A and B are shown apart, each in its own frame.
Chain A
Amino acid sequence: MRLTRVPEQFQDTKNNSYHVDAEFYDDLDRFRELFEEDWPHADIADWYQATGFLTREARLIDEGRFNDWLDLFAGDALYWVPVTAGGGEPRTEVSHAFDDHRRLTDRVYWLRTGLAYSQLPASRTRRLIGNVETIDDTEGLRLVRSSFIVNELRAGTAKTYTGWYGHVLNSDGDDWRIRMKMVNLLDSEQYHENLTLVF
């Protein structure tokens, strides 16, 4: 459901999730179909803007500025880390993360409690993003597809995660807000130890 149609008492999406309805799930299907298509080369200005946005987002995560990172997300955002590569069927499958705005706010709060043993010490990460492509859909949403390598060091153990991101961005004045961030890990359905880092 578009946020503009959400009843007044549910407008605060950090505490309510009225907008996550059948239509919300249908949108995910539509986004995923678009991500599977071949796209024409983007205009250089659009490409530059998309790359800049991803780079800034990556730096906020890598520097542990999770409140600032959370501010990048729209009220009807989804931070999605599927278990089934490519997404599977979220209506009947679980995901590593299927965070609406409320649960994503929870996640950031959780990371910052200082009480999560799985993040004591906190993960140090540094990521590289490349192969950026971008296109606008018919509703003016900007889709960005990229590949990532996330290096993590925590409690003396170094790990590497590889995969591709699918970002759907909403125009917000001169800037953009994240409507969906999909994180497709190469080994999403495999054995993982302590998957509490932010992708």
Chain B
Amino acid sequence: MPWPQGYADFDKTDFGLTKVSRVSSYRGFIFGTMNVDAQPLEEWLGYARPWLDYWIDRSPDGEVIVRSAAFRMGYRGNWKLAYDNAGDGYHPSFSHRSLLEMASRMGESKDMTYFGKTPDDGPMLAYSLGNGHSVIDQRAAHGDAPGNFWANQRPQPGRERFEEQIRAEHGEDAERLLDLAIGAQINLSIFPNLLIIGNQIQVIEPLGVDRTQLTWHATQIGGVPVTVNTLRMRTQEDFPAFGEPDDQANFEEIQRGLAAPEAEWIFMNRGLEVSGWQSSDEDGVTETAVTDELHMRSYYDEWQRRMNEEAR
């Protein structure tokens, strides 16, 4: 600091960078909080933890590699619009009509069309996991057989030749490997700003009340041939190009709509008090239809609870 004598009373230690008071990691994911009273990380992850484990353990050697350049997307809307969306199974048949219509160009397409067919009745399910976390499980829409994720995915560049090569080199193991080039078929939302969607890690960063950055980190995995990871990259380019932009256009329209003082409230009652949808286990995890807006109501409860806490 030049010429400190010009300040009669100055203590440099009062002006340092803010410290992230608590930093912990779980299987390579590093979490930080300014809240010195925050509960231990694994306790906070709670029932989201086994879902994160499932996602990491899809990698044959447990290694998920985040080395690709990231999509740094932004929209003129509040950060919650992205969090609302990540756990919502109601919007795809509406918001992603362009993608679904495009997918039908080459005849019958299975990818995501299951969201358009009586999604209230399953077999996909959503779970409210506590602490504002939730998950959508789409795996049942594909069935259990190895190779189903692969078979249902919209075709990526190089699909035919790479598939032929992987089948020739890996025989019966090919179905398992090809599935690993496709997303995990879960949307795991970890409150408040971490989304695990398909094979991508998304981080929500509010830049202002009406501006948000959503960074998508593409992943490779260890323990598979490079051809699988190359297909995996091509799969991870599909939704960011033809799906997410329509979501974000919707977010911006919602943000503009919210500015109208005459219409103050958003209706997020879908599934509320509908008989036969929700069931809870002894731990308080609630299972429901994928089109239930329980996800939104659950994390808003958590958000409100935290916003009412006394700041220290």
Contacts and interface: CB of A to CB of B under 8 A. Distances in A.
A102 B160 CA distance: 12
B218 A21 contact: no
A95 interface: yes
A59 to B, nearest CB: 24
Given A110-B242, A189-B72, A192-B72, A91 B233 contact: yes
B213 interface: yes
Given A189-B69, A193-B74, A94 B160 contact: no
B245 A118 contact: yes
A151 interface: no
A162 interface: no
Interface stretch (B46-54, B98-106, B137-145): B98-106
B75 interface: yes
B159 interface: yes
Contacts of A161: none
B97 A115 contact: yes
B233 A117 contact: no
B249 A94 contact: no
B98 A107 contact: no
A20 B153 CA distance: 18
Contacts of A10: 160
B95 interface: yes
Given A17-B155, A92-B220, A191-B72, A109 B102 contact: yes
B242 A192 contact: no
A97 B159 contact: no
Nearest to A102: B155
Given A21-B162, A97-B241, A117 B249 contact: yes
Contacts of B70: 83, 189
B91 to A, nearest CB: 11
B246 interface: yes
Contact of B157 (A84, A103, A113, A116): A103
A196 interface: yes
B285 interface: no
A118 B73 CA distance: 13
Nearest to A10: B160
Contacts, number: 136
B74 A92 contact: no
A130 interface: no
A92 B67 contact: yes
B291 interface: no
Interface string B57-78: 0000000000111111111100
Contacts of B74: 191-193
Contacts of A69: none
Contact of A17 (B71, B159, B226): B159
Nearest to A154: B249
B245 A192 contact: no
B42 interface: no
Contacts of A96: 71, 237, 240-241
Contacts of A21: 158, 161-162, 165
Given A16-B160, A194-B249, A94 B226 contact: no
B236 interface: yes
Interface string A110-126: 10010111101000000
Interface in A79-101: 82-84, 88, 90-100
B131 interface: no
A152 to B, nearest CB: 14
Nearest to B245: A118
11 contacts: A16-B160, A88-B69, A93-B233, A96-B241, A99-B157, A110-B101, A113-B97, A117-B246, A117-B249, A193-B74, A193-B248
Interface of A: 1, 10, 15-21, 24-25, 82-84, 88, 90-100, 102-103, 105-107, 109-110, 113, 115-118, 120, 189-196
Given A17-B160, A191-B213, 5 more contacts: A83-B68, A92-B220, A107-B242, A118-B245, A190-B72
Give the 9 A-B CB pairs with smallest separation, nearest first: A118-B245, A20-B158, A116-B98, A83-B69, A117-B249, A100-B157, A115-B98, A93-B68, A18-B160
